[in-house]
Amino acid sequence: MKCISALTVAITLAPLIFGFSVVQAGPPAPIAIHSVSVELPVSRTEFPPGPGSDLSGKCLICHSASMVLKQPALSRAQWTAEINKMRHTYGAPIDDDEVDKLSLYLAKINADQQTH
């Protein structure tokens, strides 16, 4: 866990008495706010090998592999629909002639995940 609380500034809330009415009887306790600098972990999960896996890197532009690998059983038609949603809604740079190959690959690895 990398959390370097840089403490650029500490703003302490001056308790204000007036106008407080939501839940508690008194004003909320002061809260100190500090600047934050963190590092997010890098995914260690990779797409499995197989025909079409060369295209899976395009999925990784926006999300790690587990988004795909943790899905329930989906048909090839459903994978095609997901790929087209990524292309047309989110702008994934997947060409027309890549959709068939990628959907076949995703349907295959997805089926392999449904063993337990």
Partner 1 sequence: MSREGSAIEPSRRHFLQAAGLFGSIGLIGGARALGATAKSVRLPFVNGERELTNAFPQKGEMILLRTRPPLLETPFDVFDHGVFTPNNRFFVRWHLAYIPTQIDAEAFRLTVRGHIGKPLSLTLHQLMTEFAPVELAAVNQCSGNSRGLFNPRVAGGQWANGAMGCARWTGVRLKDVLDRAGVSAGAVQVRFNGLDTGLISGTPDFLKSLDIDHARDGEVMIAYGMNGEQLPLLNGFPLRLIVPGWYSTYWVKMLNDIEVLDRVDDNYWMAKAYLVPDTPYASVKPGQSDFKSVPISHMPPRSFITNLRDGDRVLVGHAVHTRGIAFGGDAGVSKVFWSSDGGAHWMDAMLEEDHGKYSFRRWNAHYTPSSRGENTLMVKAINSNGVEQPAVPNWNSGGFMRNVVESIKVTVA
CA 113, CA 102: separation in Å to the nearest integer?
17
Return the number of the residue (40 or 57) whose C-beta is nearest partner 1. 40
How many residues make up the chain in this entry?
116
> Alpha carbon of 79 to those of 35, 51, 57, 59: distances in Å?
42, 16, 16, 13
Which residues inside 5-64 make contact with partner 1, applying CB under 8 A?
Answer: 6, 8-9, 11, 13-16, 18-24, 27-29, 31-45, 61-64
3-state secondary structure of 64: coil
Smallest distance, Å, CB 76 to partner 1?
13
Residues that bind partner 1 in the complex, under the rule CB under 8 A:
1-3, 6, 8-9, 11, 13-16, 18-24, 27-29, 31-45, 61-64, 66-67, 70-74, 78, 82, 89-93, 113-114, 116
